[in-house]
Structure 1
Amino acid sequence: MTEDLEEGNLIFKTEAFLSYVVLSSWRDSIIVLKSCEKLSPWAENLQIVRRCSESIAWKACVNPKGIRWNYTGRPSKVSSPSWNDLKDSSPSRAIQVPPDWWFEDVSILRIDHFVRVITAIKVKGMRFELIGASIMQYASKWIPGLIKDGGGEAMLDDLSNGNISRESNGSSSGSGSGSWKGGLHLIVAGKEEPEAIKAKDQRMIIESLISIIPPQKDSVSCSFLLRLLRMANKLKVAPALVTELEKRVGMQFEQATLSDLLIPSYSKSDTTYDVDLVQRLLEHFLVQEQTECVSSPSRSYMEKNMFEESQRGGASSAKMRVARLVDSYLTEIARDRNLSLTKFHVLAEALPESARTCDDGLYRAIDSYLKAHPALSEHERKRLCRVMDCQKLSIDACMHAAQNERLPLRVVVQVLFSEQVKISNAIANNTLKDNTAVESQFQPMVSTRKTLLEGTPQSFQEGWSSAKKDINTLKFELETVKSKYVELQNDMETLQRQFDKIVAKPKQHSSSAWTSGWKKLSRLAKMNNMDSHDDGSDQPVAEQTRKTPRRWRNSIS
């Protein structure tokens, strides 16, 4: 078999056949790699698995326009295919090759060989959206019930170029007597249906798929990740991989739906749904949002401001969607009588206050919890209602809450007060709008007047211009007369002052003699009074000095 004795023995011929025939063909590479499943140790040692995987990866990364070989693709659902249909499944027809042409052929491989092929495709630089879509296609085939009917088709159709319409090939799990697998499926699997996959094999498939999901966001849908997480919890997958999957869900948690979040509790918890899991997913989402806001790339000042504004707007919209999702989830799980008040309270307060612009959904969840738990004390009811902001309730919710007997009295009073404030604000806004509407009615009159003037004939416009000139002339003459009148009035006032001065001088001379005489007499009278007063005051003082005895000084000796 070796070349020691003679050239051209079996090993040489096998190597030549493998290199020039098998590896150069797409279909033969898939078939040989599928056949190596029963010869795993020998095929690995002879590097057949590695070479086939690299050949498949290289052909999968080729531009679809250059494909000239046969592939299975995603054929339409038919009842009984003919031989011509099998031959025409190749791109020899004048049909554009879709970018996901290799999904169906690769999905028939065993999980370890599929991982080898996907790893080689990643190295070649394939787009992460295509890699994620191929993983979803493989999971839908090998894990029954993982994806809804047609759930993974939307993402696959978005990857097609030129809006090519392709129908689904029946059941995504590959079961059912009416679904045609065609191409390589007939060659490899024959007509027998695949046996039911055991739980151990499903666990291995899920662990392998989690490890090869591209790290980029939106490489796979959030619905697929949540369903994969549901199966991982059910099959007791390794905790490290489950944690990694939870972080991936947190990256795109705003894309989740309520039906995907209703994951049953497979642990020993008393609750129907796994509330702790949703709490962890929400924490991962908040951490991811905070990390994206902090780690902004270095840009210029203007670009940085624009980037921060866009990031802030995107983050706020994502938080608002998550808030609505959490409120719907709380409303659904509130009917569970085994749900504790602490879990409900912690999950409701996990999001910041800015995430909720309206608390109607939260009020609905609180009302559902109060219905399912009528034995709550007054203190517990107040604690539950503290999560809700009465000022963020709509008028309909306020009217319902005002008549709700399950709410504490203090909360009802707060609701009534907030409703009154909203009604008064609404009335004030309507009054303001009416005032602005009345003011705006005068604006169209100016425009209509202009249009009327513009629509008048030329003769009327010339007469109007001459009349305007006459009016301006009269105004100028009137202003001149006014200025002259003011000057004359000032001159008249000046003359009047001079006349008053001349008339007042004789009166002042005649009265000065009398006034001076009276002034002298008054001065003499005042001086006499002061002298007499001084004489009378000195005499008692002298008498006092005589009457006071002399004080002798006592000596110390």
Structure 2
Amino acid sequence: MWDSESESGGGREFGNGALVSEKHNLKTEGFQQRGQSWYVETDIPSDLLVHVGDVSFHLHKYPMISRCGRLSRIIYDAHEGELNKITLNDLPGGADSFELAAKFCYGVTVDLTASNISGLRCAAEYLEMTEDLEEGNLIFKTEAFLSYVVLSSWRDSIIVLKSCEKLSPWAENLQIVRRCSESIAWKACANPKGIRWNYTGKPAKVSSPKWNDLKDSSPSKTVQVPPDWWFEDVSILRIDHFVRVITAIKVKGMRFELIGASIMQYASKWLPGVVKDTVGESVLDEFTSISSSNGNISRESSSSSGSGTGTGSWKGGLHMIVAGNKEDLETIKVKDQRMIIESLISIIPPQKDSVSCSFLLRLLRMASKLKVAPALITELEKRVGMQFEQATLSDLLIPAYDKSETMYDVDLVQRLMEHFLVQEQTECGSSPSRHLDKNMFEDSQRGVASNAKMRVARLVDSYLTEIARDRSLPLTKFHVLAEALPESARTCDDGLYRAIDSYLKAHPTLSEHERKRLCRVMDCQKLSIDACMHAAQNERLPLRVVVQVLFSEQVKISNAIATNGLKDNSTTVVEPQYQPMEPHNRSKKGGQQQKKDINTLKFELETVKTKYVELQNEMESLQRQFDKMVAKPKQHSSSAWSSGWKKLSRLAKINQMENHDDGSDQPVAEQNRKTPRRWRNSIS
């Protein structure tokens, strides 16, 4: 394990964290800065001027070309004779790294820290400071510091990887990013019980013990490390480096739920809209903060030396430098948000429940708004379909960003339901386990699938009720979404009736045919008593639907009366059979209890009968109103329906009398079966 005291630059065995050139060909007291220029404090006048960006370095040729192969080649290959001025605007690390490299060439002590090592390593490679020019040159020493010091430290690996954001593609080509990512992944997958280094989640007042004190420390005094201790530290990385770390962690076998939790933590830091109700809030400060090589990534009181045990919060930003007007800033913010979303989608573990469904839906909301690649949106929709039963109504209310006619993206929810149904069929059709009985497995799978469908049905009914208030919602979209689930998914259609009533209220100009078509998605037999009472008095429903509701309620009451009657009869028949088998006292008490139960059932039966009579009276009243509406002006006493039945009964009587007069022995019932066609013609 790594001792916290050995993670800083100071106090290391590696040259005490300092580099000193072995050859001192030019005596100097150091470098002095005057404005934007650096001067070497020596008696010999400078004969080489090097420009790195806006900074000028007044140097001497010999100490520089003796250790820098690139400068030597540039000077000796010049066609202008003696070259005294060189411009190095593409030097990785900029003026800060070149300053350290120049000091090394002059033999000035250079302190190596995690903040400057990556830039200095890339600058040494750019200047070609190899072993061919001098033994122990800058490439060798920086590479050794990276391999033996940085990669053995958790904090230094994070800092170096963060500092590589400005060093592309040099840091990639030199394998600094890969090595730091694998070092971080290896330490993140270590057993938390053995962790002794500092991390962000550690309490500020608790200092890590020294390596020598570990043997004496008792288990009760050891601070318990949570499994997500590494989330906050890796969340400060740029998205491409974060992807590299997560990919390396996956390879090393980290649990998928921890990987998903780290992805959600990263998204909450860089995409605030994912964890808040309002999407697209201003996160300009998150994207315009410019991370410096030592200030913004400092966790301790002195980041240059790496010493201290402070646990200050990490502060960092993305790699771009923001400049220009407000439109440019907005464009940059959108591009980086899109890049983050696309990268996070690509690294989400494929296992179900690795991330929450709410997170996926909010990520999908932002992806739709920012016009993410269609293939990635489809992949995200499939992921949502895998756990669609866990969604909430607020997550489904995704606005239509494609300027469609509706307020909400109804087509998106329709696709999510299709993915959910496909996933349910796939799971139900999967082969059972070898160690389980096939029938038991299929029953359990069927039960889980039905429960999920029931939860989705309730969710969809609530969603339909919400979107029904949109006056621009076409009837076809409402109808298709309401019929997307099978009938077995709904045991009660109260939620569907509520959605239909809301749609009728928001669209009062629907025709009679459209209202009937809308109500066909509802099964009147699945309505509760309260819903039936409301529907019977609902003037927005078609009259035919009201009659169906009353008829279904009448059937329910008839079935309830028949069921209670059977219970009553069974109780009276069974009672004397069991009385002689019981003792005297218990039989007496049992008989009293049974009488109470019978009285209770009789009271409930009378109540049901009373309700039945009331509903029957209401149905007759509605029938009379219906007869008045459809009756002809001359027919005031009876409707066409009742007159047709009267004609039918008169024809039946006449036919029976004629059969008797003819003396035919054929039964009347058989004769009636032969004559319905004539009766229908006469009625019509």
Same fold flag (TM > 0.5): yes
Question: 1:122 and 2:247 equivalent?
Answer: no
Q: Aligned-pair distance for 1:187?
A: 7.5
Which runs of no fewer than 5 residues in structure 1 stay unpaired? Answer: 76-83, 150-170, 176-180, 453-557
User: 5 Å matches for 1:185-334?
Assistant: 186=312, 189=315, 198-297=333-432, 299=434, 303-334=437-468
**Distance between the aligned counterparts of 1:104 and 1:72, measured in 2?**
6
Instruction: Report the CA distance between 1:89 and its aligned residue.
Output: 11
Identity of aligned residues (%): 83
| SS of residue paired to 1:310 | helix
- Where do 1:513-532 residues align within 5 Å? none
Q: Following TM superposition, by how much is the alpha carbon of 1:372 offset from its aligned partner in structure 2, in angstroms?
A: 0.5
Deviation by residue 1:299-327 (Cα, 9 ceiling, x = unmatched) = 37x62211111110111110010000000
In structure 2, C-alpha distance between the alignment counterparts of 1:187 and 1:41, rounded to whole Å? 28
Query: In structure 1, what is the equivalent of residue 184 of structure 2?
Result: 56
Deviation, structure 1 residue 13: 1.9
Q: Tell me if the contact between 1:118 and 1:131 (Cα under 8 Å) persists in the aligned partners.
A: yes
8 Å CA contact 1:359–1:392 kept in 2: the answer is: yes
Conserved? CA contact 1:206–1:232, under 8 Å: yes
Change in CA separation of 1:424 and 1:85 when aligned onto 2, cut-off 3 Å: same
Check conservation: 2:299, 2:313, Cα contact below 8 A: yes
DSSP 3-state at the match of 2:245: helix
Shift of 1:174: 8.1
Contact 1:71 1:183 in 2 (8 A): no
Alpha-carbon distance change, 240 to 404 in structure 1, aligned in 2, over 3 angstroms: same
Give the drift of 1:426: 2.0
Alpha-carbon RMSD = 3.0
Which residue is equivalent to 1:30? 158
When structure 1 is superposed on structure 2, of 64-73 and 131-140 the one drifting more is 64-73
Q: What amino acid maps onto 1:222 in structure 2? A: C
Q: Is the 8 A contact 2:298 2:314 kept in 1?
A: no
Name the CA distance, whole Å, in 2 between partners of 1:341 and 1:89.
69
Structure 1 partner of 2:648: none
Report how far residue 139 of structure 1 moved. 0.1
Give the match for residue 131 of structure 1.
259
CA distance in 2, matches of 1:451, 1:333: 61
Alignment of 1:419 with 2:545, yes or no, is: no
> What residue identity is the alignment partner of 1:305?
N
Cα distance in 2 for residues equivalent to 1:368 and 1:182: 57
- Residue 430 of structure 1 and its aligned partner are, at CA, apart by 2.9
Deviation at 1:148? 3.6
Q: What residue identity is the alignment partner of 2:387?
A: Q
**Structure 2: distance between partners of 1:74 and 1:418:** 65
For residues 204-242 of structure 1, give each alpha carbon's deviation from its aligned partner in whole angstroms, at most 9, with x where no partner exists.
Answer: 000000010011110000000000000001111111100
1:7 to 1:287, Cα distance in 2 relative to 1, 3 A: same
Match of 1:15 among 119, 135, 143: 143
* C-alpha distance in structure 1 between counterparts of 2:554 and 2:340, whole Å: 60
Q: Work out whether residues 222 and 252 of structure 1, in 8 Å CA contact, stay in contact via their aligned partners in 2.
A: yes
SS in 1 for 2:443: helix
- 1:9 deviation in Å? 2.8
Q: Which residue of 1 aligns with 2:173?
A: 45
Distance 1:94 1:52 in 2: 28
The answer to whether the 8 A contact 1:30-1:105 is kept is yes
**In the alignment, what sits opposite 1:357?**
491
Task: Tell me if structure 2 keeps the 8 A contact 1:223–1:260.
Answer: yes
The one-letter code matched in structure 2 to 1:97 is V
Q: Distance in 2 between matches of 1:125 and 1:374?
A: 59
Q: By how many angstroms is 1:444 displaced? A: 6.7
CA contact (8 A) 1:31 1:188 kept: no
- Read off the aligned partner of 2:231 and give its amino acid letter: F
SS in 1 for 2:449: helix
Residue matched to 1:526: none
Give 1:110's aligned residue.
Answer: 238
Bigger radius of gyration: 1
CA–CA distance in structure 2, aligned partners of residues 438 and 62 of structure 1:
73
What are the residue-to-residue correspondences of 1:63-78 with 2, within 5 Å? 63-73=191-201
SS of aligned partner of 1:338: coil
Q: Which residue of structure 2 lines up, in the alignment, with residue 85 of structure 1?
A: 205
Figure out how many residues of one structure are paired with residues of the other and give that number.
415
Q: C-alpha distance in 1, partners of 2:201/2:286?
A: 14
Contact 2:259 2:349 in 1 (8 A): yes
Amino acid at match of 1:127: R
Q: Please, which of 570, 573, 581 is the counterpart of residue 446 of structure 1?
A: 581
Q: Which moved more, 1:140-149 or 1:223-232?
A: 140-149
Q: Within 5 Å, which residues of 2 pair with 1:400-419?
A: 400-419=534-553
1:60 to 1:44, Cα distance in 2 relative to 1, 3 A = same
Any idea what SS the aligned residue of 2:260 has?
Answer: helix
Look up the equivalent residue of 2:141 and give its one-letter code: K
Q: Which residue of 2 aligns with 1:371?
A: 505
Tell me how far apart the structure 1 counterparts of residues 253 and 236 of structure 2 sit (CA, whole Å). Answer: 23
- Cα offset for 1:45? 1.1
Deviation track 1:159-196 (CA, whole Å, cap 9, x = no partner) reads xxxxxxxxxxxx9x989xxxxx99478475389xx999
1:156-171 matches, cutoff 5 A:
none
Answer whether contact 2:535 2:546 (CA < 8 A) is retained.
yes
**Does residue 1:431 correspond to 2:557, yes or no?**
no
Which amino acid is 2:455 matched to? R
Q: Distance in 1 between matches of 2:455 and 2:543?
A: 32
Residues 1:174 and 1:97: Cα distance change in structure 2 (over 3 Å): farther
Deviates more, 1:250-259 or 1:12-21: 12-21
Partner AA of 1:339 in structure 2: L
Q: Is the 8 A contact 1:263 1:274 kept in 2?
A: yes
Cα distance in 2, alignment partners of residues 328 and 189 from structure 1: 42
For the residues of structure 1 that align with 2:473 and 2:579, how far apart are their CA atoms? 64
Distance 1:74 1:439 in 2: 75
Distance 1:130 1:440 in 2: 62
1: distance between equivalents of 2:463 and 2:539? 24
- Residues in 1 aligned to 2:232 and 2:408: alpha-carbon distance in whole angstroms: 35
Instruction: Output the CA distance in 1 between the equivalents of 2:586 and 2:540.
Output: 66
Residue 188 and residue 225 in structure 1: after superposition, are their counterparts in 2 closer, same or farther (change >3 A)?
A: closer
Between 1:421-430 and 1:257-266, the stretch displaced more is 421-430
**Aligned pair in 2 of structure 1 residues 206, 49: CA closer, same or farther (>3 Å)?**
same
Change (3 A) 1:428 1:202: same
Structure 1's 354 and 208: CA in aligned 2 closer, same or farther, altered over 3 A?
same
Deviation string for 1:432-458 (max 9, x for gaps)?
344455567664763434999xxxxxx
Contact 1:252-1:285 within 8 A present in 2 as well:
yes
Change over 3 Å in CA distance of 1:451–1:376 after alignment to 2 = closer
- For 1:228, give the aligned amino acid: L
Taking a change above 3 Å as real, the CA distance of residues 26 and 123 of structure 1, as seen in their structure-2 partners, is: same
More helix by share: 1
Relative to 1, partners in 2 of residues 1:137 and 1:190: Cα closer, same or farther, differing over 3 Å?
closer
1:442-477 per-residue CA deviation (whole Å, 9 max, x = no partner) reads: 64763434999xxxxxxxxxxxxxxxxxxxxxxxxx
Query: CA 1:436–1:174 in 2, change beyond 3 Å: closer, same or farther?
Result: farther
1:68 partner SS: coil
Give the match for residue 132 of structure 2.
4
2:154, 2:184 within 8 Å by CA — same for their partners in 1? yes
Native 8 Å contact 2:432 2:441 kept in 1: no
Work out the CA distance in 2 between the residues paired with 1:363 and 1:139. Answer: 39
Read off the aligned partner of 2:507 and give its amino acid letter. H
For structure 2, which runs of at least 5 residues remain unmatched after alignment? 1-128, 278-282, 288-296, 301-310, 323-328, 588-684
